[in-house]
Structure 1
Amino acid sequence: MLTTMFPNVDWEDMWEATVETLYMTVISVGATFILGIILGLLLFLTGKRNLWQNKAIHSVIAGFVNIFRSIPFIILIILLVPFTTWLIGTMLGANAALPALIIGAAPFYARMVEIALREIDKGVIEAAKSMGATDGQIIYKVLLPESLPALISGITVTAIALISYIAMAGVVGAGGLGTLAYLDGFQRYQNDVTFVATVIILIIVFIIQWIGDFLTQQTDKR
């Protein structure tokens, strides 16, 4: 039945493209989460009236975040061609897309982390200080746990944005469903290939959104 409905779809190629897309998603989301948390914490902690207040360091980190989250992703891929080629050895394939994906998404998520940390009641932080908590204890036992629902919600939004980045990266040969939809679907006028690839991408997005919403509800203490 599927063969009749979608005569141009090679289901083995579609499966391989789906696996590549999932691979890029998992790796890039994981790396973005870690780097985004680090950058977001540094933005928050070095800000005015915070634990590590330092205007110079804050300005440098904020500048880096603002620059890289403002560059359109397709342009960022082109700008990072020399770096990616040096790091990976090629500009083609799933691994070659990862540097641009991570560098493009981590600053975006870092701002979400900073916003989540700003929403924490200052009284909670002051109470921890008054009880003699170290900076490390405040970070790991106050800041991160208190902001966890917002952090999960933020990485969910970022993960969905990464899915669109991955699809765009397919246009320049990154592999995955984006490449299949562009090369086999668009360029060969095989609309059924493009349609099936799009449906699979939508399913991945819906699953990520459901997982993110579930985890956010489970960690929200309110």
Structure 2
Amino acid sequence: MMESQASDRTEAEMIAGILAGETQLYHDLIRPHERSVYLMALSYMKNEADAEDVAQEAFVRAFQKLSSFRAESKFSTWLISIALNEARSRLRRQSVISMESLDEPPDKNKTISPALLRDWREIPSEALEREEVRKLIQQAVEELPDIYRQVFLLRDVEELNINETAKVLNLSIPNVKVRLHRARMMLQKRLAPQLKRTNPSSKRRWLPWE
């Protein structure tokens, strides 16, 4: 009965209820976002245990800060921003990676094809179902420099819009567009030759951006 009542409530109503003392509603509030938060954390931590810790900490922090949520953005956007901040903080504490300057340009020694990848999601679904292809894409995304991976994941994986992505990362809209463009170009350069090899007889089908 309680689950039915919770499912009938809007997100805003659940938040109001939690703040009014119905804390049991919190799990229903975050349930639709658990996988997204975990995957975002995993993309940073590269370790399932650490990613789970980051996700759990993000949910705890979100609960503690729930009264500060002003609904100026989607709850999912706000939640992901908390998870990203927690992941960054943990990485800094662990000194696992060196944080790149937000203004640092791409390595000038790296040659990137000027051709635009219209949409990486144009890769056919049957191709994405192949473990080999999934691993290629996952590895390529993981190896993007941090400042480009952030934007790519939020825009092309989580499908946040430009304004939401800019707000989460505290960037200007032009910077988001530039970084997404560079991320897609880097992925194209990395993935195009490998996807050709997976199906050399179907070049057009596998590389729709050519």
Provide the TM-score with structure 2 as the length reference: 0.30
Name the one with the larger helix percent: 1
Provide the TM-score with structure 1 as the length reference: 0.28
Higher relative contact order (CA 8 A, sep 6+): 1
